[in-house]
Amino acid sequence: MSECNPRDLARCIDHTLLRPDADERSLHTHCRQAVRWNFYAVCIAPCHVEAAAAALAGTDIRVCTVIGFPLGSTFPAVKANEAVLSVEAGARELDVMINLSRLKSRKYGEIEREIAGITQTLPPDRLVKVILETGLLDDDEIRTGCRIAETAGARFVKTSSGFTAIGATLQAVRIMAETVGGRLGIKAAGGISDTAAAFAFLDAGATRIGSSRSLDLIGVRETE
């Protein structure tokens, strides 16, 4: 898990750029912001991993990408291959979308095998976060998703993709913290847009924040 010190909020944040229309200019601006303001990681689409890794070479800013995003309903082998290719391109952290259909259908063994097929294939220094999409789950399903992620070898659970109507909630983070807090990291993401909200999620048990509005969270304004 990352050592998140709320006194240095930027080091708790994955600076996120997952807009489908994000171009190379946006990516380089994003990486420059990450270095300037010392965010923990940039979270970008797989197609941008190689360029982000090059832009951030020589810094301690991590490259994070998303796998099976944003629906999670593709074949397990496709997710596993995407994860391997992303690591080869320079990703150090992978936010893997859980298969919600399987979770809702209570096919827990299939989900565990899918996630384990990723965690067991990657180098041990690569960190896997499982995105639960908590806004579409009830409390028991959130707990179940957390336990499956832990058993399968993930090191974080994450609330949301940011692509559904309900993003991170304090209640969901509290449930996640009660279930795996202290053993797994917890990333709150989805609709977190100001400093007060960021600290509220950290107080609820989050150990990392994901946001496309990272500059707002740390209270700065920047022009290119």
Which residues are the active-site residues? 95, 158, 187
Helix (H/G/I), strand (E/B), else coil: 153: coil
* DSSP H helices in the chain: 24-37, 49-55, 76-89, 100-104, 108-119, 139-151, 170-180, 195-204, 214-217
Separation CA 155–CA 172 (nearest Å):
18
Evaluate whether 179 touches 140 at the Cβ level (below 8 Å). Answer: no
**Residue that is written with structure tokens 């509290």 in the block:** 174
Separation CA 68–CA 182 (nearest Å):
27
